[in-house]
Amino acid sequence: MAHGPITWHEGELPRARRWASLGARGATVWLTGLSGSGKSTIASALERRLVEAGRWAYRLDGDNLRHGLCAGLGFGEADRKENVRRAGEAAVLMADAGMIAIVALISPYRADREAVRAAHERAGLRFLEVWVDTPLDVCESRDPKGLYKKARAGELKGFTGIADPYEAPEDAALRIPGGEMSVDDAVTSCLAIVDG
């Protein structure tokens, strides 16, 4: 079925006016790192701190997204790319609305994260990349979902950090040394860049 050209429909309320009315300033905090690095734990605590302070925030967790928005996507390179793209587009919409979108996603490929950054830049929104830099051996010792054990046994193909690469950020807004910093301190550091 052919469709005509798709055009962005501007609303009656400009972003600056919406944000001023809400007393909000949207942004995306994108936590990236290996499975078991602590991304989801930090993201949950950050969301709680922001909301308890009366700020609009919502967490987009990689596993949770695969129950709906990203359901049906696998873990091959093309599907991971699409997973990151979808999460990034959702984050752009949330940040535009004036929320702090908190994304916790392995997002192993640098180019995919840079594409999300570029989407935010085109929209005039802040993208704050946070690298939860937890060493592989620490992540593997935690193994909260038993995924490393399955990957080492050959039951999971292409698992990031074992059979597939993780490309660390080159210019993250914040590096959290996982395994060395408390969750509270990590959240405080995230808040500092959100408010910076």
Residue 71: half-sphere exposure toward Cβ, Cα within 13 Å? 3
Q: 3-state DSSP call for residue 185?
A: helix
Gyration radius of the chain's alpha carbons: 17
Q: Is 189 a catalytic residue?
A: no
**Spatial distance between the Cα atoms of 29 and 173, rounded to a whole number of angstroms:** 9
Which is nearest to 35 in space by CA: 184, 119, 158? 158
Catalytic pick among 107, 141, 182, 189: 107
| Residue with tokens 């500092």, as numbered in its chain | 192
**Whose CA is closest to 161, among 141, 179, 177?**
141
Helix (H) or strand (E) holding 30: strand 27-32
**Sheet with 57-61, edge to edge strand ranges:** 57-61, 100-104, 27-32, 126-132, 174-176
Q: Catalytic residues, which ones?
A: 107
